[in-house]
């Protein structure tokens, strides 16, 4: 498996820097928890406060590293607009993920809720563009299996 430079930076941004921040945050919470009166003496509190100051500064720095790498390294290529007429959106992830940015199709199928979000509804559409099945209530735990079962049954009966 080959990892491109963009994918590498995304990994560094999300996994490496994010993990370091989460570990530092967990350490900070544990440090605050250890400041309970019944656990430490006055000298112990002073020693723990020094570590907490260092931890807070460390978390602030790593949080800014996350912001800077996200803003100036990862997100610009993510947000890049494909040239007019581009059909392969593989290198334009935002456009690839935005299936219906103007909500035209969402309105056409009647799945736009009053807040302007699309409800989770699955439409099985055959190659001729005919809606063969609508799954109006999607339970993400079992939905993929329901759709697969429907497709297998339709295939077995010869239904397009």
Model confidence pLDDT, tens digit, residues 91-150: 777 766 666 778 888 888 888 888 888 888 898 988 888 889 999 988 888 999 999 999
What percent of the chain is modeled with pLDDT above 90? 9
Please state, in angstroms and as integers, the Cα–Cα distance from residue 19 to each residue in 26, 49, 152, following that order: 10, 23, 42
91/83 Cα distance (integer angstroms): 11
133/116 Cα distance (integer angstroms): 24
7/25 Cα distance (integer angstroms): 26
- pTM value is 0.50
Top-confidence residue, 147 or 35 = 147
The two structure tokens encoding residue 108: 């056409």
Picking from 18, 27, 125, the residue whose alpha carbon sits closest to that of residue 63 is 18
Contacting residues for 113 by C-beta, under 8 A, at least 6 apart: 119
The per-residue pLDDT for 91 is 76
Contacting residues for 8 by C-beta, under 8 A, at least 6 apart: none
């Amino acid at each position: 498996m080959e990892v491109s430079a963009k994918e590498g930076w995304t990994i560094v941004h999300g996994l490496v820097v994010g993990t370091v921040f989460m570990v530092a945050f967990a350490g900070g919470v544990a440090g605050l928890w250890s400041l309970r009166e019944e656990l430490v003496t006055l000298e112990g509190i002073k020693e723990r406060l020094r570590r907490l100051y260092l931890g807070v500064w460390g978390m602030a720095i790593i949080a800014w590293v996350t912001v800077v790498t996200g803003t100036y390294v990862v997100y610009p290529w993510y947000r890049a607009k494909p040239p007019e007429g581009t059909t392969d959106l593989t290198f334009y992830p935002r456009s690839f993920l935005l299936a219906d940015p103007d909500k035209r199709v969402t309105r056409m199928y009647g799945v736009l809720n009053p807040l302007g979000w699309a409800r989770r509804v699955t439409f099985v559409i055959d190659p001729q563009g005919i809606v063969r099945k609508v799954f109006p209530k999607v339970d993400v735990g079992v939905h993929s299996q329901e759709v697969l079962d429907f497709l297998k049954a339709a295939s077995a009966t010869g239904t397009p």
